[in-house]
C-alpha cells in the first residue's frame, strides 16, 4: 500500500517565490509525483505561520495523510515547527520532511527557469525519501538530580550556589587547596573598586557551609562515564596529609614549618609560603595541605615540625590519595584561564629587567594581604616608583601570539593606573591601541582616569629597554613606542613597567575537553553550542560551560554564565527526564565483524565494544546522529535512523528524476 503524501511549497514572501515559480512546482508535484503517492500539493505564502501550519493539520486529518513534505527554508529554522504541527494533528513528527528550496535554491540562483526546475527536483527527492521514514519516538532518559561543578572560581561558585540554594546536591571539584580562583588574587575589582576578597569571600563561606554542596578541593576529575542524566564521574582526592576531621585550621603547623617555598600560584612568584600551607588566610576549606615536593620530610625524612606542634594530631604523612565515584545528571565546567607568559615577548624584558611586572604580580603588590602589604614598590621591596608605565595588549591582538582581544585588560590597566596614582602619586602612562570599555560604568571609569591625570599614549609598545641614550634615561626603564596620535617615536623613561598580559586557555584544555567529550576552539577555549544564542551549553548534552573557560570575560559576565548554566541544569532536573532526538545510529550486530573502526571514529565516545560478543553497539543517549560511523563502517553494518542508506539513495533517485540537462536550461 502506498503512502499518502502531502506536499507544501512555501512562497516565503518573495524570498522563494521571487525566483522559483512555486505555483508551478506545487502543480507539478501534484501531477507528476501522484504515482509516488502524492495525494495533495499546495503552495502558500508563509507555511510557517499558524495558518500555514493549520493547512497541513487540516489535510492530515481530512486527507488521511501518512507523510508530509514541506518545501521551504532550511531545516535549521523550521523543522521543529512543522514536526510539531504534524504531531498536533496526530501524525508522528518524524514522518515529516522539510526540504530547503530557499538556502539551497532561491537564495543562491538568479536563473528563474533553472531554479524552478531545481526546486522540482528537490521536492521530488524529498518525496522519494519520506516514503522510507519511520515513526520514531524520542528517547526518554531519567535525570539524576545531583550536579558536578568543576572549577571553584567565581563562575563555578555562582553555579554551585544557585543549584544548591534550589535544594539540589552539588559536587564542587577544585584542583587547588582552596576555592576562589583568580578573583581571590586580585586587589580591587573594576569599575566599582570593590575589594575583591571582600565580595568574594562571603560567597566562598556560603559554599563551605552549604549543606547541599560537597566541596572537593585539592581534587581532580579522572574519568567520566555515561551520558546526560546519568554520568558516573571518578574523582581523585589528592592527599592533603591532613586529617580534615581533626584539623581545626588553627595555623600552628604553617607557623612552625621551617621550609619556605616560593609561591608561584597564588602569590604569582612574588612571595613565599611554607611547605604546609593554606593558599591565603580566607581559604575555604580552612584545611592546609602539605606540598610533598618541597616538604623536608618527603625529601629527607626529617623535620616533622608540624606533626610535633599540631594540637589535635591532625598530620598524617602516610595519607594516600583517594578515588571516589559520584553519580550526577549534569556537569558544569568552569575551570577558568591561564595568564599569557610574557617571557614569550623578549623585547618587553619580563624576566630580564627586574622592574617589569605582569598584571598578576602587580595585583599581589597592590593587595593588602600580599607580599608587600599593599605597598606599590619596586623589586627591591622598598623603593616607590615615581613613574609607572602600563602596557596594554601584551600577547593579545597579536598574530604572533594570540590574535584575539582579552576583553578585560583595558579596564584592568585603567584600574592599575588609578591605584598607582591613589597610593603613590606617581606619574602614570598607559600605552594602548584602543580603549575598550563597553560595559556598565566602564566608560565612566575611563573618564575618571582622564580627570585624574593619567597620561594616555596611543601606541603599542615596541620595546622596554634599559639602554640609556641620554642622561635622563640612566637607571630607568625606557619604553620605546610610537605616539601615533602625534606621529612621533618616543622614548619614555619610567621606574616600573606593568604588562597587561592577556588571558589564555588553561595549558591542559585539550586534555580536559577530551575527558568530558567536548571540543575546543583553535585557541583552546571550550566551544559553546551557539556563539550568539547558546553560550553556556555545549554540543554534548548534559555538559555546560561557564566563565573564562569559554573565552575571556570579566567577573559580571562570568557570574552571569555561572547562573545561566545553573538555571539550565535546574530546568533539566525539574523535568526529571529528558527527551533525546531519536536520530541515531544503530549497528546491525549480525553484520558487525568486530573490527572496531567505528569505536575510534565516534567524536562523542558513543560506541561501546562488547568483548564477549565481539560486536560494537551504539549508546543511543550519547549518539548525536552525525553519521561518521555509518560512513566509516567497511561492512555497511551501521544504519542511521533518519539517515538510512535506503532513505538517502531514494532521495538521490528522486533528485535525478527530472534529468535536468544543461542544454535544456538557458544560461544566464
Residues of this chain that bind other proteins (CB under 8 A): 345-347, 393, 397-400, 433, 458-463, 465-467, 469, 480-484, 487-489
Rounded distance, CA 616 to CA 353, Å?
60
CB 623, CB 586: distance < 8 Å: no
The 3 state secondary structure assigned to 478-504 is: EEEEEECCCCEEEEEEECEEEEEECEE
351 vs 373, beta carbon nearer other proteins:
351
Q: Kindly tell me the sign of the dihedral angle through the C-alpha atoms of 472, 473, 476, 482.
A: positive
Rounded distance, CA 46 to CA 448, Å?
53
175 vs 460, beta carbon nearer other proteins:
460
461 vs 580, beta carbon nearer other proteins:
461
467 vs 663, beta carbon nearer other proteins:
467
State in angstroms the smallest separation of the CB of 470 from other proteins: 11
Q: Is 362 helix (H, G, I), strand (E, B) or coil?
A: helix
358 vs 558, beta carbon nearer other proteins:
358
393 vs 622, beta carbon nearer other proteins:
393
Rounded distance, CA 506 to CA 496, Å?
28
State in angstroms the smallest separation of the CB of 417 from other proteins: 20
State in angstroms the smallest separation of the CB of 140 from other proteins: 52
83 vs 476, beta carbon nearer other proteins:
476
292 vs 483, beta carbon nearer other proteins:
483
Rounded distance, CA 255 to CA 273, Å?
10
Classify residue 549 by its DSSP letter. Answer: G
145 vs 502, beta carbon nearer other proteins:
502
State in angstroms the smallest separation of the CB of 580 from other proteins: 45
384 vs 468, beta carbon nearer other proteins:
468
- For residue 476, CA distances in Å to 356, 468, 501, 576 come to 11, 8, 22, 65
Rounded distance, CA 324 to CA 333, Å?
19
For cell 561518521, what's the residue? Answer: 628
| 43 CB neighbour count, 10 Å cutoff | 22
Closest CA to 436 of 365, 506, 500, 522: 500
CB 221, CB 150: distance < 8 Å: yes
Would you report the helix, strand and coil content of the chain in percent, each value rounded to 5? 30, 25, 45
Contacts of residue 632, Cβ cutoff 8 Å, sequence gap at least 6: 597, 598, 601, 638
State in angstroms the smallest separation of the CB of 491 from other proteins: 10
State in angstroms the smallest separation of the CB of 502 from other proteins: 12
State in angstroms the smallest separation of the CB of 495 from other proteins: 18
Closest CA to 186 of 336, 362, 357, 436: 362
Closest CA to 278 of 288, 266, 270: 288
State in angstroms the smallest separation of the CB of 398 from other proteins: 4
Rounded distance, CA 31 to CA 135, Å?
27
State in angstroms the smallest separation of the CB of 460 from other proteins: 4
Phi, psi (deg, nearest 5) at residue 330: -145, 155
State in angstroms the smallest separation of the CB of 116 from other proteins: 31
Grid cell at residue 596: 572496531
Alpha-helix runs per DSSP H in 292-430: 296-300, 305-309, 359-366, 409-424
State in angstroms the smallest separation of the CB of 342 from other proteins: 13
State in angstroms the smallest separation of the CB of 483 from other proteins: 8
Which parts of 87-161 are beta strand (E)? 96-100, 139-142, 147-150
167 vs 346, beta carbon nearer other proteins:
346
398 vs 617, beta carbon nearer other proteins:
398
Amino acid at each position: 500500500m502506498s503512502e499518502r503524501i502531502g506536499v507544501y511549497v512555501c512562497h516565503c514572501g518573495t524570498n522563494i517565490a521571487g525566483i522559483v515559480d512555486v505555483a508551478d512546482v506545487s502543480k507539478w508535484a501534484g501531477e507528476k509525483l501522484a504515482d509516488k503517492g502524492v495525494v495533495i500539493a499546495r503552495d502558500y505564502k508563509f507555511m510557517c505561520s499558524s495558518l500555514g501550519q493549520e493547512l497541513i493539520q487540516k489535510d492530515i486529518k481530512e486527507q488521511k495523510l501518512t507523510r508530509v513534505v514541506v518545501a521551504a527554508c532550511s531545516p535549521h529554522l523550521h523543522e521543529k515547527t512543522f514536526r510539531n504541527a504534524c504531531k498536533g494533528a496526530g501524525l508522528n513528527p518524524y514522518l515529516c520532511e522539510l526540504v530547503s528550496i530557499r538556502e539551497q535554491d532561491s537564495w543562491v540562483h538568479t536563473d528563474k527557469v533553472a531554479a524552478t526546475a531545481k526546486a522540482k527536483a528537490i521536492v521530488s527527492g524529498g518525496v522519494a525519501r519520506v516514503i522510507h521514514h519511520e515513526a520514531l519516538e524520542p528517547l526518554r532518559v531519567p535525570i539524576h538530580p545531583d550536579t558536578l561543578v568543576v572549577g571553584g572560581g567565581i563562575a563555578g561558585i555562582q553555579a554551585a550556589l544557585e543549584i544548591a540554594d534550589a535544594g539540589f546536591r552539588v559536587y564542587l571539584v577544585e584542583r587547588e587547596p582552596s576555592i576562589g580562583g583568580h578573583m581571590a588574587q586580585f586587589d580591587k575589582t573594576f569599575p566599582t573598586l570593590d575589594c575583591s576578597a571582600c565580595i568574594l569571600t562571603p560567597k566562598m563561606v556560603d559554599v563551605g557551609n552549604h549543606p547541599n554542596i560537597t566541596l572537593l578541593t585539592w581534587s581532580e576529575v579522572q574519568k567520566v562515564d555515561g551520558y546526560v542524566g546519568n554520568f558516573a564521574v571518578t574523582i581523585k582526592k589528592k592527599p592533603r596529609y591532613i586529617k580534615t576531621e581533626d584539623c581545626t585550621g588553627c595555623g600552628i603547623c604553617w607557623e612552625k614549618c621551617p621550609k619556605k617555598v616560593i609561591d608561584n600560584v597564588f602569590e604569582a612568584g612574588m612571595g613565599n609560603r611554607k611547605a604546609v600551607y593554606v593558599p591565603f588566610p580566607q581559604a575555604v576549606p580552612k584545611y592546609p595541605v602539605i606540598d610533598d615536593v618541597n616538604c623536608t620530610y618527603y625529601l629527607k625524612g626529617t623535620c616533622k615540625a608540624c606533626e610535633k606542634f599540631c594540637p589535635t594530631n591532625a598530620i598524617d604523612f602516610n595519607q594516600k590519595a583517594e578515588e571516589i565515584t559520584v553519580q550526577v545528571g549534569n556537569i558544569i565546567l568552569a575551570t577558568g584561564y591561564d595568564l599569557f607568559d610574557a617571557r614569550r615577548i623578549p623585547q618587553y624584558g619580563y624576566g630580564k629587567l627586574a622592574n617589569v611586572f605582569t598584571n598578576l604580580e602587580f595585583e599581589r603588590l597592590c593587595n593588602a594581604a600580599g607580599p608587600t602589604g599593599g605597598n606599590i614598590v619596586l623589586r627591591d621591596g622598598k623603593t616607590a616608583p615615581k613613574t609607572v608605565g602600563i602596557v596594554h595588549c601584551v600577547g593579545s591582538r597579536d598574530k604572533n601570539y594570540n590574535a584575539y582581544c582579552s576583553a578585560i585588560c583595558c579596564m584592568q590597566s585603567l584600574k592599575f593606573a588609578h591605584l598607582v596614582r591613589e597610593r603613590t602619586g606617581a606619574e602614570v602612562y598607559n600605552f594602548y591601541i584602543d580603549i575598550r570599555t563597553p560595559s556598565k560604568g566602564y566608560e565612566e571609569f575611563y573618564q575618571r582616569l582622564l580627570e585624574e591625570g593619567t597620561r594616555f599614549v596611543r601606541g603599542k609598545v615596541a620595546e622596554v629597554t634599559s639602554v640609556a641614550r641620554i642622561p635622563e634615561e640612566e637607571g630607568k626603564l625606557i619604553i620605546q613606542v610610537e605616539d601615533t596620535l602625534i606621529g612621533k617615536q618616543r622614548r619614555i623613561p619610567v621606574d616600573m613597567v606593568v604588562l597587561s598580559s592577556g588571558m589564555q586557555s588553561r595549558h591542559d584544555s585539550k586534555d580536559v575537553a577530551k575527558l568530558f567529550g567536548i571540543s575546543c576552539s583553535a585557541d583552546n577555549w571550550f566551544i559553546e553550542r551557539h556563539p550568539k544564542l547558546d553560550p553556556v551549553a555545549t554540543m554534548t548534552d548534559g555538559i555546560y560551560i561557564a566563565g573564562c573557560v569559554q573565552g575571556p570575560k570579566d567577573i559580571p559576565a562570568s557570574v552571569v554564565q555561572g547562573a545561566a548554566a545553573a538555571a539550565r541544569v535546574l530546568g533539566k532536573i525539574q523535568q526529571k527526564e529528558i527527551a533525546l532526538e531519536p536520530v541515531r545510529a544503530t549497528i546491525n550486530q549480525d553484520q558487525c565483524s568486530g573490527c572496531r573502526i567505528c569505536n575510534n571514529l565516534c567524536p562523542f565516545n558513543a560506541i561501546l565494544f562488547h568483548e564477549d560478543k565481539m560486536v560494537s553497539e551504539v549508546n543511543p543517549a550519547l549518539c548525536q546522529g552525525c553519521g561518521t560511523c555509518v560512513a566509516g563502517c567497511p561492512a555497511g553494518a551501521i544504519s542511521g535512523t533518519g539517515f538510512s542508506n535506503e532513505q538517502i539513495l531514494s532521495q538521490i533517485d528522486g533528485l535525478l528524476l527530472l534529468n535536468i540537462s544543461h542544454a535544456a536550461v538557458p544560461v544566464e
